[in-house]
Amino acid sequence: MVFFMKKLSFEESLNQLEGIVQRLERGDLPLEDGLKAFEEGIKLSKGCQAKLDSCEKRIEELTASDASTTKGSS
């Protein structure tokens, strides 16, 4: 189970998400446990997506500022 008291890194979140997917794919969880695992997986998935979006934005900012610096120096 995920403990949300600690902020997980992207890699930790992804590893936990992969574990949840494996448990769900086995198909041997009782219905309520499967639903809880699915909910936890959704939260982890959204957290991973938010981290990826943040990284993508930083990359766009860096490459945009690098492009404007390069154009300005020619």
pLDDT in tens, 5-30: 478 999 999 999 999 999 999 999 99
Mean of the pLDDT values across residues 50-59? 96
- What is the reported pTM? 0.77
| CA terminus-to-terminus distance, the chain | 55
Backbone angles phi, psi at 41, to 5 degrees: -65, -40
Determine how many CB atoms are found less than 10 A away from the CB of residue 37: 17
pLDDT in tens, 61-74: 999 987 777 665 55
Domains annotated for the chain, with CATH where assigned, are 10-68 (1.10.287)
- Spacing of C-alpha 45 from chain mean position: 5
Sign of the C-alpha dihedral computed for residues 9, 13, 14 and 16 taken in this order: positive
For 27: left if phi > 0, alpha if psi spans -120 to 50, otherwise beta; the answer is left
